[in-house]
Protein backbone atom coordinates (compact mmCIF):
# COMPACT_ATOMS: atom_id res chain seq x y z
CA UNK A 1 0.00 0.00 0.00
CA UNK A 2 1.34 3.47 -0.84
CA UNK A 3 2.24 5.73 2.07
CA UNK A 4 -0.82 7.75 3.15
CA UNK A 5 -0.47 11.45 2.57
CA UNK A 6 -1.59 12.22 6.12
CA UNK A 7 -1.66 9.92 9.12
CA UNK A 8 -2.97 10.76 12.57
CA UNK A 9 -1.50 8.40 15.11
CA UNK A 10 -3.25 8.59 18.50
CA UNK A 11 -3.56 12.36 18.21
CA UNK A 12 -4.80 14.31 21.21
CA UNK A 13 -5.08 18.05 21.75
CA UNK A 14 -5.80 19.68 25.07
CA UNK A 15 -6.37 23.30 26.03
CA UNK A 16 -6.30 24.85 29.41
CA UNK A 17 -9.48 26.69 30.22
CA UNK A 18 -10.15 28.30 33.60
CA UNK A 19 -7.13 26.52 35.07
CA UNK A 20 -8.55 23.20 34.00
CA UNK A 21 -7.61 21.02 31.07
CA UNK A 22 -10.09 20.19 28.35
CA UNK A 23 -9.47 17.58 25.69
CA UNK A 24 -10.71 19.04 22.42
CA UNK A 25 -9.42 16.12 20.34
CA UNK A 26 -9.05 12.77 22.02
CA UNK A 27 -6.93 9.91 20.68
CA UNK A 28 -7.85 10.16 17.01
CA UNK A 29 -6.42 7.72 14.46
CA UNK A 30 -6.91 8.36 10.77
CA UNK A 31 -5.05 7.75 7.52
CA UNK A 32 -5.85 9.71 4.41
CA UNK A 33 -4.76 8.45 0.99
CA UNK A 34 -3.57 10.54 -1.89
CA UNK A 35 -6.58 11.69 -3.89
CA UNK A 36 -9.03 10.85 -1.12
CA UNK A 37 -11.80 13.11 0.13
CA UNK A 38 -12.73 12.78 3.77
CA UNK A 39 -15.56 14.74 5.33
CA UNK A 40 -15.66 15.41 9.04
CA UNK A 41 -19.07 16.10 10.60
CA UNK A 42 -20.41 16.61 14.11
CA UNK A 43 -21.96 19.15 16.42
CA UNK A 44 -20.43 22.51 17.17
CA UNK A 45 -17.43 22.23 19.48
CA UNK A 46 -16.71 18.55 18.83
CA UNK A 47 -13.16 19.24 17.66
CA UNK A 48 -13.38 19.40 13.87
CA UNK A 49 -11.50 22.65 13.43
CA UNK A 50 -8.90 21.67 16.01
CA UNK A 51 -8.26 18.43 14.09
CA UNK A 52 -7.95 20.35 10.82
CA UNK A 53 -5.56 22.88 12.33
CA UNK A 54 -3.29 20.16 13.65
CA UNK A 55 -3.13 18.50 10.22
CA UNK A 56 -2.29 21.84 8.61
CA UNK A 57 0.50 22.33 11.16
CA UNK A 58 -1.13 25.48 12.54
CA UNK A 59 -1.59 23.91 15.96
CA UNK A 60 0.72 21.31 17.50
CA UNK A 61 -0.70 18.08 18.86
CA UNK A 62 -0.47 17.62 22.64
CA UNK A 63 0.13 13.90 22.25
CA UNK A 64 0.47 11.47 19.39
CA UNK A 65 2.02 12.04 15.97
CA UNK A 66 0.92 13.48 12.66
CA UNK A 67 2.73 12.13 9.62
CA UNK A 68 2.97 13.83 6.23
CA UNK A 69 4.01 11.27 3.61
CA UNK A 70 5.31 9.13 6.45
CA UNK A 71 7.34 11.81 8.23
CA UNK A 72 6.45 13.32 11.62
CA UNK A 73 5.51 16.94 10.88
CA UNK A 74 6.82 18.18 14.20
CA UNK A 75 10.30 17.01 13.25
CA UNK A 76 10.50 18.38 9.70
CA UNK A 77 13.23 20.91 8.92
CA UNK A 78 14.57 22.84 5.94
CA UNK A 79 13.18 22.00 2.51
CA UNK A 80 11.10 19.14 3.89
CA UNK A 81 9.34 21.54 6.19
CA UNK A 82 8.79 23.98 3.35
CA UNK A 83 7.33 21.17 1.20
CA UNK A 84 4.88 20.35 3.97
CA UNK A 85 3.99 24.01 4.51
CA UNK A 86 3.10 24.47 0.86
CA UNK A 87 1.74 20.99 0.31
CA UNK A 88 -0.91 21.22 3.04
CA UNK A 89 -3.15 24.28 2.86
CA UNK A 90 -6.01 25.24 5.12
CA UNK A 91 -9.10 27.24 4.24
CA UNK A 92 -10.26 28.72 7.52
CA UNK A 93 -13.79 28.60 8.84
CA UNK A 94 -14.23 32.35 9.16
CA UNK A 95 -13.60 34.15 5.88
CA UNK A 96 -14.01 37.48 7.65
CA UNK A 97 -11.04 36.91 9.89
CA UNK A 98 -8.75 35.14 7.49
CA UNK A 99 -8.39 37.70 4.68
CA UNK A 100 -6.28 40.80 5.27
CA UNK A 101 -8.76 43.70 5.13
CA UNK A 102 -6.12 46.16 3.91
CA UNK A 103 -5.28 44.24 0.73
CA UNK A 104 -7.18 43.97 -2.52
CA UNK A 105 -8.30 40.57 -3.76
CA UNK A 106 -5.67 40.76 -6.49
CA UNK A 107 -2.91 41.42 -3.94
CA UNK A 108 -4.14 38.66 -1.63
CA UNK A 109 -3.90 36.06 -4.37
CA UNK A 110 -0.78 37.40 -6.08
CA UNK A 111 1.36 37.48 -2.92
CA UNK A 112 1.90 33.72 -2.47
CA UNK A 113 2.36 33.28 -6.23
CA UNK A 114 5.26 35.75 -6.26
CA UNK A 115 6.65 34.82 -2.89
CA UNK A 116 7.02 31.15 -3.68
CA UNK A 117 8.06 31.69 -7.29
CA UNK A 118 5.02 30.02 -8.85
CA UNK A 119 4.91 32.70 -11.52
CA UNK A 120 7.62 34.64 -13.31
CA UNK A 121 7.04 38.33 -13.94
CA UNK A 122 4.00 40.51 -13.42
CA UNK A 123 2.08 39.56 -16.58
CA UNK A 124 2.20 35.91 -15.68
CA UNK A 125 1.18 36.62 -12.10
CA UNK A 126 -1.82 38.67 -13.21
CA UNK A 127 -2.83 35.97 -15.67
CA UNK A 128 -2.66 33.34 -12.97
CA UNK A 129 -4.68 35.50 -10.55
CA UNK A 130 -7.44 35.86 -13.12
CA UNK A 131 -7.40 32.17 -13.86
CA UNK A 132 -7.74 31.32 -10.17
CA UNK A 133 -10.66 33.71 -9.72
CA UNK A 134 -12.39 32.08 -12.67
CA UNK A 135 -11.72 28.67 -11.16
CA UNK A 136 -13.76 29.64 -8.09
CA UNK A 137 -16.54 31.23 -10.15
CA UNK A 138 -15.67 34.83 -9.31
CA UNK A 139 -16.37 36.04 -12.82
CA UNK A 140 -15.60 38.23 -14.60
CA UNK A 141 -12.35 38.50 -12.62
CA UNK A 142 -12.05 42.20 -13.44
CA UNK A 143 -15.02 42.88 -11.17
CA UNK A 144 -13.13 41.49 -8.20
CA UNK A 145 -9.45 42.30 -8.67
CA UNK A 146 -9.53 45.74 -7.07
CA UNK A 147 -12.11 45.04 -4.38
CA UNK A 148 -11.31 44.73 -0.69
CA UNK A 149 -12.60 41.81 1.38
CA UNK A 150 -15.21 43.96 3.15
CA UNK A 151 -16.79 44.72 -0.22
CA UNK A 152 -17.57 41.06 -0.80
CA UNK A 153 -20.32 38.87 0.56
CA UNK A 154 -19.48 35.99 2.91
CA UNK A 155 -19.80 33.45 0.11
CA UNK A 156 -17.56 35.49 -2.18
CA UNK A 157 -14.94 35.79 0.55
CA UNK A 158 -14.98 32.05 1.04
CA UNK A 159 -14.28 31.64 -2.64
CA UNK A 160 -11.35 34.04 -2.42
CA UNK A 161 -10.00 31.87 0.42
CA UNK A 162 -10.32 28.79 -1.78
CA UNK A 163 -8.51 30.55 -4.65
CA UNK A 164 -5.74 31.67 -2.31
CA UNK A 165 -5.24 28.15 -0.96
CA UNK A 166 -4.91 26.86 -4.52
CA UNK A 167 -2.16 29.37 -5.47
CA UNK A 168 0.62 27.11 -4.21
CA UNK A 169 -0.70 23.94 -5.89
CA UNK A 170 -1.19 22.01 -2.64
CA UNK A 171 -1.54 18.25 -2.49
CA UNK A 172 -3.70 18.35 0.64
CA UNK A 173 -6.44 20.80 1.47
CA UNK A 174 -8.13 21.25 4.83
CA UNK A 175 -11.40 23.00 3.99
CA UNK A 176 -13.17 24.13 7.17
CA UNK A 177 -16.82 24.93 6.40
CA UNK A 178 -15.39 26.31 3.19
CA UNK A 179 -18.68 26.64 1.35
CA UNK A 180 -21.09 27.22 4.24
CA UNK A 181 -21.90 30.76 3.11
CA UNK A 182 -21.75 30.08 -0.60
CA UNK A 183 -25.15 29.96 -2.29
CA UNK A 184 -26.47 26.49 -3.02
CA UNK A 185 -26.41 27.26 -6.70
CA UNK A 186 -22.67 27.93 -6.74
CA UNK A 187 -21.64 25.48 -4.02
CA UNK A 188 -21.90 22.44 -6.25
CA UNK A 189 -19.74 23.93 -8.97
CA UNK A 190 -17.09 24.82 -6.40
CA UNK A 191 -17.06 21.28 -5.03
CA UNK A 192 -17.01 19.86 -8.54
CA UNK A 193 -13.97 22.02 -9.21
CA UNK A 194 -12.20 20.51 -6.18
CA UNK A 195 -13.22 17.03 -7.35
CA UNK A 196 -11.63 17.72 -10.71
CA UNK A 197 -8.39 18.77 -9.03
CA UNK A 198 -8.54 15.56 -7.06
CA UNK A 199 -8.86 13.53 -10.26
CA UNK A 200 -6.30 15.53 -12.21
CA UNK A 201 -3.62 16.10 -9.60
CA UNK A 202 -4.36 13.66 -6.82
CA UNK A 203 -5.42 16.44 -4.44
CA UNK A 204 -6.68 15.10 -1.10
CA UNK A 205 -9.23 17.04 0.92
CA UNK A 206 -10.33 17.04 4.52
CA UNK A 207 -13.69 18.75 4.28
CA UNK A 208 -15.32 19.95 7.49
CA UNK A 209 -19.06 20.54 7.37
CA UNK A 210 -22.36 20.35 9.23
CA UNK A 211 -24.19 19.18 6.13
CA UNK A 212 -24.29 15.39 5.82
CA UNK A 213 -26.04 15.41 2.45
CA UNK A 214 -23.31 17.64 1.09
CA UNK A 215 -20.68 15.41 2.71
CA UNK A 216 -22.11 12.35 0.99
CA UNK A 217 -22.10 14.10 -2.35
CA UNK A 218 -18.57 15.48 -2.07
CA UNK A 219 -16.93 12.43 -0.51
CA UNK A 220 -18.76 10.11 -2.95
CA UNK A 221 -15.81 7.74 -3.28
CA UNK A 222 -14.18 8.81 -0.04
CA UNK A 223 -15.16 8.53 3.60
CA UNK A 224 -17.12 10.42 6.24
CA UNK A 225 -15.94 10.65 9.83
CA UNK A 226 -18.36 11.56 12.62
CA UNK A 227 -16.91 13.23 15.72
CA UNK A 228 -18.47 13.54 19.12
CA UNK A 229 -16.83 15.48 21.97
CA UNK A 230 -13.34 15.10 20.55
CA UNK A 231 -13.53 11.46 19.52
CA UNK A 232 -14.10 9.82 16.19
CA UNK A 233 -17.20 7.68 16.75
CA UNK A 234 -17.82 6.42 13.21
CA UNK A 235 -15.67 6.35 10.09
CA UNK A 236 -17.09 4.79 7.00
CA UNK A 237 -17.25 5.01 3.19
CA UNK A 238 -19.45 8.04 2.51
CA UNK A 239 -22.47 6.39 0.93
CA UNK A 240 -22.36 3.47 3.33
CA UNK A 241 -22.39 5.81 6.30
CA UNK A 242 -25.47 7.64 5.05
CA UNK A 243 -27.32 4.49 4.01
CA UNK A 244 -26.26 2.27 6.93
CA UNK A 245 -25.36 4.45 9.88
CA UNK A 246 -24.32 2.24 12.78
CA UNK A 247 -23.47 4.58 15.63
CA UNK A 248 -26.61 5.83 17.42
CA UNK A 249 -25.23 9.38 17.20
CA UNK A 250 -24.84 9.14 13.42
CA UNK A 251 -28.39 7.81 13.22
CA UNK A 252 -29.67 10.77 15.25
CA UNK A 253 -27.84 13.25 13.03
CA UNK A 254 -29.21 11.72 9.85
CA UNK A 255 -32.75 11.62 11.16
CA UNK A 256 -32.57 15.29 12.16
CA UNK A 257 -31.76 16.62 8.70
CA UNK A 258 -34.55 18.45 6.92
CA UNK A 259 -34.98 17.50 3.28
CA UNK A 260 -35.91 19.60 0.29
CA UNK A 261 -39.07 17.58 -0.24
CA UNK A 262 -42.13 18.74 1.70
CA UNK A 263 -43.71 15.30 1.84
CA UNK A 264 -40.57 13.45 2.88
CA UNK A 265 -39.32 15.97 5.41
CA UNK A 266 -42.65 16.26 7.23
CA UNK A 267 -43.06 12.54 7.60
CA UNK A 268 -39.49 11.63 8.32
CA UNK A 269 -39.00 9.54 11.41
CA UNK A 270 -36.89 11.47 13.90
CA UNK A 271 -34.88 9.78 16.60
CA UNK A 272 -35.14 11.53 19.94
CA UNK A 273 -32.10 12.04 22.13
CA UNK A 274 -32.41 11.30 25.81
CA UNK A 275 -31.13 14.82 26.46
CA UNK A 276 -30.60 17.86 24.24
CA UNK A 277 -27.73 19.23 26.31
CA UNK A 278 -24.22 18.76 25.00
CA UNK A 279 -22.03 17.94 28.00
CA UNK A 280 -19.28 20.41 28.79
CA UNK A 281 -15.73 19.35 27.98
CA UNK A 282 -14.92 20.43 31.52
CA UNK A 283 -17.17 17.73 32.90
CA UNK A 284 -17.07 14.91 30.39
CA UNK A 285 -19.34 11.96 31.14
CA UNK A 286 -17.52 8.79 32.10
CA UNK A 287 -17.30 5.80 29.78
CA UNK A 288 -18.85 6.55 26.42
CA UNK A 289 -19.30 10.33 26.48
CA UNK A 290 -22.48 10.00 24.43
CA UNK A 291 -24.21 7.82 27.02
CA UNK A 292 -26.28 10.53 28.78
CA UNK A 293 -27.94 11.38 25.45
CA UNK A 294 -27.83 8.01 23.72
CA UNK A 295 -31.21 6.61 22.66
CA UNK A 296 -29.72 3.11 22.74
CA UNK A 297 -28.05 3.38 26.13
CA UNK A 298 -27.25 -0.09 27.48
CA UNK A 299 -26.45 0.63 31.09
CA UNK A 300 -23.35 0.10 33.12
CA UNK A 301 -20.97 -0.76 30.30
CA UNK A 302 -21.70 2.56 28.56
CA UNK A 303 -21.20 4.48 31.80
CA UNK A 304 -17.90 2.87 32.61
CA UNK A 305 -16.02 1.79 29.50
CA UNK A 306 -14.95 4.06 26.67
CA UNK A 307 -15.70 2.13 23.49
CA UNK A 308 -12.82 1.78 21.02
CA UNK A 309 -13.19 2.49 17.31
CA UNK A 310 -13.33 -0.98 15.79
CA UNK A 311 -14.39 -2.54 12.54
CA UNK A 312 -18.03 -3.41 12.15
CA UNK A 313 -19.90 -4.26 8.98
CA UNK A 314 -17.80 -2.25 6.54
CA UNK A 315 -17.21 0.68 8.86
CA UNK A 316 -15.28 1.69 11.95
CA UNK A 317 -17.59 2.28 14.91
CA UNK A 318 -17.06 3.14 18.57
CA UNK A 319 -20.16 1.86 20.34
CA UNK A 320 -20.85 -0.96 22.78
CA UNK A 321 -24.25 -1.60 21.26
CA UNK A 322 -22.72 -2.19 17.85
CA UNK A 323 -19.69 -4.22 18.84
CA UNK A 324 -21.27 -6.58 21.29
CA UNK A 325 -23.88 -9.08 20.14
CA UNK A 326 -27.46 -7.98 20.76
CA UNK A 327 -28.90 -9.50 23.92
CA UNK A 328 -31.24 -12.36 23.27
CA UNK A 329 -34.89 -11.94 24.10
CA UNK A 330 -34.61 -14.22 27.10
CA UNK A 331 -31.95 -12.02 28.67
CA UNK A 332 -34.10 -8.87 28.49
Ligand X SMILES: Nc1ncnc2c1ncn2[C@@H]1O[C@H](COP(=O)(O)OP(=O)(O)OP(=O)(O)O)[C@@H](O)[C@H]1O
Interface residues with ligand X (CB under 6 A) are 15, 17, 24, 44-50, 93, 281
- Cβ at position 176, least distance to ligand X in Å: 7
- Binding at 253: pick from another protein, Mg ion, ligand X, none (beta carbon under 5-8 Å per type): another protein
- Cβ at position 51, least distance to ligand X in Å: 7
Residue of 128, 138, 264, 24 lying closest to 147 (CA atoms): 138
| 236 is a contact residue toward Mg ion (CB under 5 A) | no
If one counts every other C-beta atom within 10 angstroms of the C-beta of residue 259, the result is 11
Looking at residues 249 to 308 of the shown chain, list those that interact with another protein (rule: CB under 8 A): 252-254, 256-263, 265-266, 270, 273, 276, 278
- Cβ at position 261, least distance to another protein in Å: 6
CA 304/CA 314 separation, integer angstroms: 27
CA 225/CA 164 separation, integer angstroms: 26
Residues 6+ apart with CB under 8 A from 170: 86, 87, 88, 89, 203
- Binding at 280: pick from ligand X, Mg ion, another protein, none (beta carbon under 5-8 Å per type): none
- Binding at 15: pick from another protein, ligand X, Mg ion, none (beta carbon under 5-8 Å per type): ligand X
Residue of 35, 66, 63 lying closest to 52 (CA atoms): 66
- Binding at 47: pick from ligand X, another protein, Mg ion, none (beta carbon under 5-8 Å per type): ligand X
**51 in Cβ contact with 64 (< 8 Å):** no
**222 in Cβ contact with 36 (< 8 Å):** yes
Nearer to ligand X, 48 or 187 (CB): 48
Residue ranges binding Mg ion (CB under 5 A): 49, 93
Amino acid sequence: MPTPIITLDHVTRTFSVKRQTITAVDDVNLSIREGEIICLVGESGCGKTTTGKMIAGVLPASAGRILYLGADISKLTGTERKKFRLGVQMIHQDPYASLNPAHTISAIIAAPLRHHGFTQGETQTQQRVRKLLETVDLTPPDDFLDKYPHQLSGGQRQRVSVARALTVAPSFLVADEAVSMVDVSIRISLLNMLSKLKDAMGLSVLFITHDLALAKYFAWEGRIGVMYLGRLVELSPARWLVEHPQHPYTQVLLSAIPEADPEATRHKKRIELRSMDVPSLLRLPTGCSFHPRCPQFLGEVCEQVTPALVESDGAMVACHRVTRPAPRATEL
